[in-house]
Amino acid sequence: MLNSIINMYKTKLILSFLLLFYSCSDNLKMSDKPLNVVWISCEDMGPILGSYGNDVIKTPHLDKLASEGVRYTNAYSTVGVCAPSRFSIITGMYSARLGAHNMRTGDYHNYKTPEEVSYRKSIGVIDKEGKNIPEYEVVPPTYVKPFTEVLRTKGYYCANNFKCDYQFNAPFTAWDEVSSTVSYRDAPKDKPFFYVWNTLLTHESRIWERSNQPLTVNPEDIIIPSYFPDIPEVRNDIARKYSNIEAMDKKVGELMTQLEEDGLLEKTIIMFWSDHGGNLLRQKRAVGNSGLNVPLIIRYPNKMDAGKVDNRIVSLMDLGPTVLSLLNIKPPEHYDGKAIAGHYEESARKYVFGTADRFDESTDMQRSVLDGRYVYIKNFMPELPLIYRNKYRERITMNSKLIQMDSLDMLDGDAKYIFMKTKPSEEFYDLVNDPYEVNNIINDPKQADKIDNFRFALENWQKEINDQGFIAENKLVQSFWPNMIQPKTENVEFKIRDDGLYELTSITNGASIGYQTDEKIGTNSWSFYHEPIIVGNNQKIVARAIRIGYKASEITSN
């Protein structure tokens, strides 16, 4: 009798779950036309918005987005800097798994046509073995593609305004268009769209590039992390950082208003995120919470789940799989990223893992494990200082000032801590009691068991991904481009089937194919080939193939 009652309740629970699941699916299905997706991507910013508890920075538009959507509190990038992080986002894979972890491999911030790509043989970078590192492109396995190619096979118009920065030049098959002017409004009327809008306003460089702009935040009101001294240069640059965030928020408001005026707001899933954590010292390029923790907000049509706060551990690698899942497209099996919503939602993570290796001219190797409260860091080159010299970031006034003060032994307390001349082999921080990660409790006997769990998790993860950080960069480059000769994708071949359809193929394993017809020939817009196509008797067609990291093929015609 008892078993019967238990089984009855189990059945009711399962039925309730299924009803809830399909109800959510129905809520997302606003019409017979598939939903659109918009990504709002900002730069170099931790979760310091109003909706995350910062009452100094005024971000009304993003706060409204959070109140109408789901706010994630434990979202993390895989690396505390742009290019390796964006590699993980576009591929759904760990950069350290595929040798894309060194920042950066070349000038691929924005899309270039194959004819525009060039590589410098020397960029002033020396690897761990003292070898010169030229510009190069990462060559991932044949099955690794930009996830946007999956969307394009499903009929989505994919547009990017305008940053790529993937550690390889973006293939011309990844996007319908990449430019500083493209908009979701450019999507054909019969196609749903996936649109990425990138704003550079919060980037590290804007602290000096916008230094002449009026401040909208009073330097006296800013919050100073304990690892910075309270000096005018620090207050002014943090006020600039805050002011840039407020300027970014206004632009987000303009985009949201535009979507609403176009009648698309309730037909579009909107995701807001930053590519990694903060843009100051001990933030950008750091492997701890300050470098990896990011804001993430997802707004659904009709404000589904409005105001929900999700405390699950998520990675920016999960963005692509989640888009596919929300659109009822099964993500590829090989992804390291996991769908955090939608039809193919996966179980929650226990940990996220972070990496730090070469950043521009400076080489190091750190790995981290985070679970939302604790941060474990393993330093593989402890003989190096925590704050190393980096010409780019020293253009920020406060950064160069702090380096000068350190050289004169003028820093103390937590500010002195981050300028440690050598690093401990391990670090462990409790973010509840130590949010700024300045009290290393690695030797606390009360934490011994927990620390062992983190050590074990890191060791297993590094083995599982075959962490490429142990390999000198010059050897990685040689593995991508043997004898420093970039491989070339083989030309596209045309075949007419018995039913009159054209099949396009390239013998290069892993190549993607784009094609153009009639008036599109000679433009930068390539249709994505994924199934046999119809070509009229008098219609001209040209095609080109590309594998990530390879030279593109020649353009051939039927």
- The tens digit of pLDDT for each residue in 474-532 reads 999 999 999 999 999 999 999 999 999 999 999 999 999 999 999 999 999 999 999 99
For the stretch 211-265, pLDDT in tens is 999 999 999 999 999 999 999 999 999 999 999 999 999 999 999 999 999 999 9
- Other CB atoms within a 10 A radius of the CB of residue 486 amount to 15
For the stretch 163-219, pLDDT in tens is 999 999 999 999 999 999 999 999 999 999 999 999 999 999 999 999 999 999 999
**pLDDT grade, residue 387 (50/70/90)?**
very high
Structure confidence at residue 12 (pLDDT): 41
- Any residues with CB less than 8 A from the CB of 408 and at least 6 apart, and which? none
Which is catalytic among the residues 24, 42, 82, 158? 82
Share of residues in the chain with pLDDT > 90 (%): 93
**pLDDT grade, residue 10 (50/70/90)?**
very low
For residue 78, which of 424, 314, 270 has the smallest C-alpha distance? 314
Structure confidence at residue 16 (pLDDT): 41
Average pLDDT estimate for 293-302: 98
For residue 375, which of 352, 348, 349 has the smallest C-alpha distance? 352
Cβ-in-10-Å burial (0-12, 13-18, 19+) of 463 comes to exposed
Structure confidence at residue 139 (pLDDT): 98
Average pLDDT estimate for 285-304: 98
Average pLDDT estimate for 48-76: 98
**pLDDT grade, residue 29 (50/70/90)?**
low
Average pLDDT estimate for 1-16: 40
Please determine, for residue 11, whether its predicted confidence score (pLDDT) is greater than 60.
no
Share of residues in the chain with pLDDT > 70 (%): 94
Structure confidence at residue 33 (pLDDT): 75
Please determine, for residue 18, whether its predicted confidence score (pLDDT) is greater than 90.
no
Average pLDDT estimate for 452-461: 98
CA distances, 131 to each of 99, 123, 126, 168, 184 (Å): 17, 12, 5, 21, 45
Structure confidence at residue 418 (pLDDT): 98
Dist CA 222 CA 220 (whole Å): 6
- Other CB atoms within a 10 A radius of the CB of residue 479 amount to 12
Structure confidence at residue 9 (pLDDT): 39
> Does residue 292 come out as left (phi exceeding 0), alpha (psi in the -120 to 50 range) or beta?
alpha
* Residue 42: active-site member: no
Q: How many CA atoms lie within 13 A of 383 on its CB side?
A: 1
Average pLDDT estimate for 379-389: 96
Average pLDDT estimate for 268-284: 98
Structure confidence at residue 3 (pLDDT): 43
How large is the angle between the packed helices 397-407 and 232-261, nearest 10 degrees? 150
Average pLDDT estimate for 86-108: 98
Dist CA 434 CA 1 (whole Å): 53
Dist CA 46 CA 273 (whole Å): 9
DSSP sequence for 44-90: S--S-SGGGT-SSS--HHHHHHHHTSEEEEEEE-SBSSHHHHHHHHH
Dist CA 294 CA 276 (whole Å): 6
Q: How high does pLDDT run on average in the chain?
A: 94
Please determine, for residue 347, whether its predicted confidence score (pLDDT) is greater than 60.
yes
Please determine, for residue 58, whether its predicted confidence score (pLDDT) is greater than 90.
yes
Structure confidence at residue 30 (pLDDT): 41
**pLDDT grade, residue 27 (50/70/90)?**
low
Positive or negative: CA dihedral 421, 426, 430, 435: positive
3-state SS assignment for residue 166: coil
For the stretch 315-334, pLDDT in tens is 999 999 999 999 999 999 99
**β-pair partners for 37:** 194, 269
Instruction: Return the structure tokens found at 457.
Output: 């998790």
Please determine, for residue 291, whether its predicted confidence score (pLDDT) is greater than 50.
yes
